[in-house]
Structure 1
Amino acid sequence: MSGEIISAQNPLVNDELIENLKSLSVSQSLTTYTDGIRKLHMQLKHATQNGLSNNIPFAFSMAANLYRIVPLLDKLLSNDDKDGYNNFIETKTFLDTLAHAFENVCFFEIFAMAKATIPIQSIFHKYIFLLKENYFTDDDKYDGLVNCLLPIISYASILTRITEDQIPADLLNYLLKFTKRHWLSQHREKVIKNILGLIKCCSINPALIPMVIRHEWPHACVQWLGNKDSGTGQRPSYTIDYYICLIIQKMARHANCVEILNQLNCLKRLDECKELMRKAHTDSEYNCLHLLFGMIYALLMESDEIKQLSVSNNERMCQVINEIVLYTLEACRNERFFYKCFHVAEMLGVLSKLFVNDDILLKFVNEDNQLFDFLSQLLIDFNNITRDTSRTHQPVNDETLLTLTNLLWSISFHECYHEKFEKNATLMNVVSDLSIATSLSVTTQMKLMPRDMCSLKKAAEGILWNLKPASSPSSCQISDEKTQQPLAMISYSHSNTTFCRELVENLSAHVPVWVDYKQAKDAVAHSDDLWEEIARAMELATAIVLIVSKEYYNSKSCRQELSYASDALKKRIIPIYPGDQQYRASGWLGIRIAGQKYIHFGRKPFAEAIEELSSVILTDQKLNIVTLTQPTVTSSSSCATHPIKMIDEENKLLSAMKNWTTKDIRKWFEDNQIHKDLITLLIDQFHTGTALIVYARHLKLFYRNEYIRIFKNYLKIFHGKKMNTFDFIQFVDALYRLRSDYDPNSTIEDSYEKQSEQQLPPTIKCTNDPITRL
């Protein structure tokens, strides 16, 4: 192999060294060996005087040929008695020099030179079984040999497909025993670092994670965070601490390892060791550790915890996320998609977890104009890369494509980015291809892949559905399908399947119901193939019955359904709570159902709740029929031309509100327990009661626009303080109830507006999601 590599630095000397190394492997006498190892050592020092980083072809040759003399080196290191002592010293000195040279070079860059994986596979298999348990003893005589072998094995394992049967069964076990004995020893630090480096590489590979767990490496790493098995408060060097955290970060990317780490209270241990590490290491070192802490937290936290995070006043969190974004961009620019020991898939996995929080997503995608473009181009690139079935990084490349698609799906929920999606024709073609592709939709659903990910196909379909314009079936189409039109479509999370089935069984006795599991074979709900049917059901439904739950809030698929029903189709949403539901809607779900009349099945008999729900749905159905008989509305129509008959008593209610004073308005705010900050912000904007009614109607039509306007004013008036979403929801709910009480025509008016808006030209409709301007 060495004959194929041309060194840029003294090629003749380097080639001679490799040939001498080969000759040494067949040395027949101690004298011949002594002279040969001395000469080899002199040549090695000359070849590495400027470091192996400047002589990568030579480094590759050394890695490809060193295995030849390992049995001989092993024999001579074992013979350290008086007769063999000189050879022992010469061997140890040579290995120490080589290990030092290896320490200062990145073998990943060296091995990545190979155009095919076969040479790397060959190197891995030649070295992995050369390791012996007796090399890892309290005697350091084998340390130089170990420090040469481990980096070669570790980095070769990253660039080739490794399975458990290709690794000695007891390897991870005796490495752990040795590490537990010496992880605080400065004298053995290089060996410990290289062992941890191998475990780090094993923890990257999903196929090796079961073996890593079985040999209890997660348990050991979590214990070391708090020095639990040392009995002291002593910390190891920064390098060892960094590698321990790095291993945990790699493990936390795999679903089955997350379960173990959480059982071991890993996050609690991280909190406990932070101050110890801060005191033990420099500021720059601690900042690197803190970045790893941030990645680990994101990977181990549940989605609902992340959704509750606030970045507005958390400078440290902002710093961590900024660094992750920076690492992502730098890895994108790198030919091999690596930056500082991290593959881009690792940063993308963290961002994918964090971007379930809309505030975090909007803040960082808005602040960095490059991020969306980089993610889009990366999806295009990896779509091409994954088509090559002979590629070296197949698992991590598949994972990158999966994560990118899920990330862009999260972004596509926000309308301000729709134009960016639609302007990138190549991106849209790739997403469209992925939505119908099946080659990766199975492999990327492996249990060992990062959790909280939907399949590639489903994520791609999700992007397309979010970008899909509202469908506006004509009145004649609705009339033709009237007898078959389902009145209620059920939108729910799988976790509420039991309640959903009971609901459907009882509600079906009153109104026709569409629910996904009745359409799917084998009762598999929310499958990839049901998207079209779900969308069609929503288009035909009178109302969407939403089963509110924490799991619904956490599900992108459920958010997808509600976004399409509410934003694109402008359907009536009827939130209902199961009897045992303690969850209170928040975040995006709380905003979308704010002001909607809901039914809680835990606050009244089940049969009574069913009666109320069916009554609401049937009332909506009658209103739709009335609305469809109204004259067609053109773009020049105004509210004054609406054929709505006002009754005298209703006019009297509205007239009475005209006489409300500022004192009456303030009393209304206070009686409805509106937050004092919102009162301060809004009270001067209303001078009559009817102004509140008009604003309630305006808010119904332009809810998100008003939310963002008030949110921004709140930040400005109260010097950066963030408005609590629940306080705003309470204000909106009070307004809607006020309008319902004093304006009985409001329900018909809303229904008419819904139909009218569907008939307006697309240019008249509001297409920008103002929440994204936060």
Structure 2
Amino acid sequence: LNMKLLDIELRKYQNILFIPLITFIDKYFVSNQCSQNNILIKEILEFLRITSDQTLTIPIFINANYPQICLHWLSLSYLNAYEYAYTLRIIYNIARHDEGIMILNKCQCHNILMQFNTDILDRHIDFIIDRKWYEDLQLIYFMIIILIVDSNKLVIESTNWFITYRLSPAIFDGILSRTYRYQKFHISELIIILMRLCINDNYIHCISHKKYSTFPEYVFNVLNFLLYCVEIERFDYSVLSLDVLTVIALANILWSISFHDQYKNILIENIQIINKLIVFESSNIIEKILPYIYISRHMSSLKRAIDGIWQNLYPLSSTNVEIKSLTTIKSFCSLMISYSHIDIDFCRQLYDIFSILPELSISVDFINSKYLWQEIAQTIEQSDLVLFLISNNFFNSKSCRQELIYVTDTLKKPFISIFINADYQVTGWLKNRINESKQIHFEEKDFINNCNELLSLIKQSVSMNITSIKNTSDIKQWNEKEVKQWFNNNNLMPELHDFYQFQNGYELLLYTQAILAFSWTKEYARIKIRFEEKFKQQQQCLSPHEFSKFINALKHLKNKSLSSI
């Protein structure tokens, strides 16, 4: 079992290995309602723990229903300590993947974990007798919570306790270890947990005001040591990749710290380490290593983090682009949309509607492919107006924070705040900066009406006449371009659109009616073979998850337009 395989090699074992293994253990746990020291079960759990440690393999575990089954095991009161430990480790590994977080949250993971903490972790005889077991599982428990729960919704008191008495000592011990590990956690995993906490300003201040008061210095010391390590050529990419991942996470932490004036002097004093980081980023190591590591959506690229730190320490005034006067009537307007990539579906939907208006030129990164700070800053300066898509994801994004500060504090440029969720309450760094701005709160039921209200605000801001937005709810009248936009809006694989080649909305609706009349799994089995044959050269697979997303989008389409068929 304990063989080294790449995730791409493991995919072919999903049905013949991973599903039978989880089914076997599940039947064993359910049928043997008492704790038993079964060596085979332990070996299988260890194999699953080792395999799921490679975050790129997590889609295999998701497709085999591991999240749901493992969460169920936590409700069983009769497992022994190592069975709970392995179960928590597998759930933790799943939570390290963005797709895993979504599935775990859908399965009420947070509530199940809290119940486990109360009913089992605090009361199980194994953990009462052996406090080391208890402390180890408590560390994993909190790490899962931090990965799946928004940092602004964490309980401050218990999280501060975790940082002080569990996370910080674990990081110190891991750094002092020859293998950079604490227990079976590599230092990169612990630093990523710290990075997730540093999204919230309160936890940066908490860490800095505890006994670890030299927090920025501590981050720099670890970073400097790791930069020294990665300069030494290693041939084991699995080791080097973990060091690189740690460096990227530390750079993200420094970016979070750099937003605060009280820490900027410490950062400037350590500017030589930041310069080392710049040299490292320009080397070919990153390019070699990226295929071997998983970067979550909460972690910015090393280049973006470095640019962010530099902008906060040595702000650009502007790139000398003339800011246009908005006092005269215009016939053409350039807009930029700033948003969190987690909210890309909403952004695409908004872009698809406004991009067809001839009077507007809209800049957004998934169209212009401008992701570097210098390019973003120039785009902001060249725009007549900036649209900020406000949400909790926007609030947590360092990139969004930098873009908004550049607009409000540096350029003092006109902007509109678009609240994706009508009931979102602004707090912290964002509140004072947008309180006086023009705002609109979007509601899902009235999207087109909201768009027209937004259009009115844009007209007021730029003093020009713009064509009204038409309602495109009559799906039967969609042309080929609008069908393609529907695939984009629902974040479906572009290859699916290329595969089906629907010419209009009527064809799409007819297919919807036909496929939803039967079990979609049969259609999936039929389509999968043809799809993978068509995209054989690209080595593109069609997973059950991707096809089920397509089916769910079709169901929504049917509910929206039953009368159109």
2:279 — aligned with what? 433
Residue of structure 1 aligned with 2:374, choices 499, 508, 532: 532
2:48 — aligned with what? 199
Unpaired runs of 5+ residues, structure 2, are: 465-565
Q: CA deviation at 1:448?
A: 4.3
Q: CA deviation at 1:551?
A: 4.2
1:293 — aligned with what? 141
CA distance in 2, matches of 1:167, 1:542: 49
Partner letter of residue 138 of structure 2? Answer: H
Q: Which has the higher contact order (CA 8 A, sep 6+)?
A: 2
- Against the structure 1 CA distance between its residues 461 and 238, is the aligned structure 2 distance closer, same or farther, given a 3 Å change threshold? same
Q: CA deviation at 1:570?
A: 4.9
1:351 aligns with 2:194: yes
Residue of structure 1 aligned with 2:163, choices 321, 328, 333: 321
- After TM superposition, the structure 1 = structure 2 runs for residues 41-56 of structure 1, keeping only pairs within 5 Å, are none
1:464 aligns with 2:310: yes
1:526-545 Cα deviation digits (max 9, x unpaired)? x334x213223445667655
Residue of structure 2 aligned with 1:266, choices 106, 109, 117: 109
- Against the structure 1 CA distance between its residues 540 and 613, is the aligned structure 2 distance closer, same or farther, given a 3 Å change threshold? same
CA distance in 2, matches of 1:445, 1:595: 45
Q: CA deviation at 1:276?
A: 2.1
Partner letter of residue 369 of structure 1? Answer: S
1:276 aligns with 2:119: yes
CA distance in 2, matches of 1:468, 1:266: 42
Is the Cα contact below 8 Å between 1:491 and 1:561 reproduced in 2?
Answer: no
1:399 aligns with 2:211: no
Q: CA deviation at 1:256?
A: 3.5
- Against the structure 1 CA distance between its residues 501 and 205, is the aligned structure 2 distance closer, same or farther, given a 3 Å change threshold? closer
- Against the structure 1 CA distance between its residues 415 and 503, is the aligned structure 2 distance closer, same or farther, given a 3 Å change threshold? farther
2:152 — aligned with what? 307
How many aligned residue pairs are there?
Answer: 438
Partner letter of residue 145 of structure 2? Answer: Y
1:287-326 Cα deviation digits (max 9, x unpaired)? 443322211111122xxx3224452xx2x22212222122
- Against the structure 1 CA distance between its residues 235 and 543, is the aligned structure 2 distance closer, same or farther, given a 3 Å change threshold? same
SS in 2 for 1:440: helix
Q: CA deviation at 1:458?
A: 2.0
SS in 2 for 1:292: helix
Partner letter of residue 317 of structure 2? Answer: S
CA distance in 2, matches of 1:546, 1:242: 43
SS in 1 for 2:123: helix
- Against the structure 1 CA distance between its residues 211 and 505, is the aligned structure 2 distance closer, same or farther, given a 3 Å change threshold? closer
1:340 — aligned with what? 183
Partner letter of residue 298 of structure 1? Answer: I
CA distance in 2, matches of 1:293, 1:279: 15
Q: CA deviation at 1:199?
A: 2.0
Partner letter of residue 593 of structure 1? Answer: I
Is the Cα contact below 8 Å between 1:578 and 1:600 reproduced in 2?
Answer: yes
Q: CA deviation at 1:390?
A: 0.8
CA distance in 2, matches of 1:610, 1:259: 33
2:399 — aligned with what? 557
Partner letter of residue 295 of structure 1? Answer: M
1:12-40 Cα deviation digits (max 9, x unpaired)? xxxxxxxxxxxxxxxxxxxxxxxxxxxxx
Partner letter of residue 499 of structure 1? Answer: L
Is the Cα contact below 8 Å between 1:175 and 1:195 reproduced in 2?
Answer: yes
Residue of structure 2 aligned with 1:378, choices 218, 222, 225: 222
SS in 1 for 2:430: helix
- Against the structure 1 CA distance between its residues 609 and 398, is the aligned structure 2 distance closer, same or farther, given a 3 Å change threshold? closer
1:516 — aligned with what? 363
CA distance in 1, matches of 2:11, 2:418: 53
Is the Cα contact below 8 Å between 2:61 and 2:67 reproduced in 1?
Answer: yes
Is the Cα contact below 8 Å between 1:575 and 1:597 reproduced in 2?
Answer: yes
Partner letter of residue 363 of structure 2? Answer: D
Q: CA deviation at 1:270?
A: 1.6
Unpaired runs of 5+ residues, structure 1, are: 1-127, 129-152, 228-233, 620-774
- Against the structure 1 CA distance between its residues 618 and 369, is the aligned structure 2 distance closer, same or farther, given a 3 Å change threshold? farther
Residue of structure 2 aligned with 1:592, choices 410, 433, 439: 433
Partner letter of residue 222 of structure 1? Answer: L
1:226-282 Cα deviation digits (max 9, x unpaired)? 12xxxxxx4222232222212221222123433443343332322232222122144
1:499 aligns with 2:343: no
1:592-641 Cα deviation digits (max 9, x unpaired)? 2123454668899866765654544569xxxxxxxxxxxxxxxxxxxxxx
Is the Cα contact below 8 Å between 1:235 and 1:276 reproduced in 2?
Answer: no
- Against the structure 1 CA distance between its residues 458 and 184, is the aligned structure 2 distance closer, same or farther, given a 3 Å change threshold? farther
Is the Cα contact below 8 Å between 1:179 and 1:192 reproduced in 2?
Answer: yes
SS in 1 for 2:167: helix
- Against the structure 1 CA distance between its residues 575 and 274, is the aligned structure 2 distance closer, same or farther, given a 3 Å change threshold? same
Residue of structure 2 aligned with 1:421, choices 250, 267, 272: 267
CA distance in 2, matches of 1:353, 1:572: 31
- Against the structure 1 CA distance between its residues 576 and 450, is the aligned structure 2 distance closer, same or farther, given a 3 Å change threshold? closer
2:539 — aligned with what? none
1:130-153 Cα deviation digits (max 9, x unpaired)? xxxxxxxxxxxxxxxxxxxxxxx4
CA distance in 2, matches of 1:205, 1:545: 38
- Against the structure 1 CA distance between its residues 173 and 310, is the aligned structure 2 distance closer, same or farther, given a 3 Å change threshold? closer
CA distance in 1, matches of 2:109, 2:318: 52
Q: CA deviation at 1:432?
A: 2.3
- Against the structure 1 CA distance between its residues 362 and 491, is the aligned structure 2 distance closer, same or farther, given a 3 Å change threshold? farther
- After TM superposition, the structure 1 = structure 2 runs for residues 549-628 of structure 1, keeping only pairs within 5 Å, are 549-567=391-409, 569-577=410-418, 581-598=422-439, 610=455, 613-616=458-461
CA distance in 1, matches of 2:6, 2:456: 60
- Against the structure 1 CA distance between its residues 436 and 416, is the aligned structure 2 distance closer, same or farther, given a 3 Å change threshold? farther
Is the Cα contact below 8 Å between 1:576 and 1:599 reproduced in 2?
Answer: yes
CA distance in 2, matches of 1:618, 1:433: 46
Partner letter of residue 144 of structure 2? Answer: I
- Against the structure 1 CA distance between its residues 444 and 556, is the aligned structure 2 distance closer, same or farther, given a 3 Å change threshold? farther
CA distance in 1, matches of 2:10, 2:155: 46
Q: State the Cα RMSD in Å.
A: 4.1
SS in 1 for 2:78: coil
1:759 — aligned with what? none
Q: CA deviation at 1:186?
A: 4.5
CA distance in 2, matches of 1:579, 1:456: 29
- Against the structure 1 CA distance between its residues 173 and 546, is the aligned structure 2 distance closer, same or farther, given a 3 Å change threshold? closer
Is the Cα contact below 8 Å between 1:406 and 1:459 reproduced in 2?
Answer: yes
Is the Cα contact below 8 Å between 2:335 and 2:385 reproduced in 1?
Answer: yes
CA distance in 2, matches of 1:429, 1:287: 39
SS in 1 for 2:96: coil
SS in 2 for 1:595: coil
Partner letter of residue 496 of structure 1? Answer: C
Partner letter of residue 343 of structure 1? Answer: H
- Against the structure 1 CA distance between its residues 366 and 488, is the aligned structure 2 distance closer, same or farther, given a 3 Å change threshold? farther
SS in 2 for 1:271: helix
- After TM superposition, the structure 1 = structure 2 runs for residues 147-162 of structure 1, keeping only pairs within 5 Å, are 153=2
CA distance in 2, matches of 1:446, 1:523: 28
CA distance in 2, matches of 1:226, 1:243: 14
Q: Which has the larger radius of gyration?
A: 1
CA distance in 2, matches of 1:176, 1:479: 61
- Against the structure 1 CA distance between its residues 187 and 202, is the aligned structure 2 distance closer, same or farther, given a 3 Å change threshold? same
1:390 — aligned with what? 235
Is the Cα contact below 8 Å between 2:88 and 2:137 reproduced in 1?
Answer: yes
CA distance in 2, matches of 1:418, 1:166: 46
- After TM superposition, the structure 1 = structure 2 runs for residues 134-149 of structure 1, keeping only pairs within 5 Å, are none
Q: CA deviation at 1:428?
A: 1.4
1:220 aligns with 2:69: yes
Normalising by structure 2, we get a TM-score of 0.65
SS in 1 for 2:416: strand
Partner letter of residue 251 of structure 2? Answer: T
CA distance in 2, matches of 1:168, 1:504: 42
- After TM superposition, the structure 1 = structure 2 runs for residues 361-376 of structure 1, keeping only pairs within 5 Å, are 361-367=204-210, 368-376=212-220
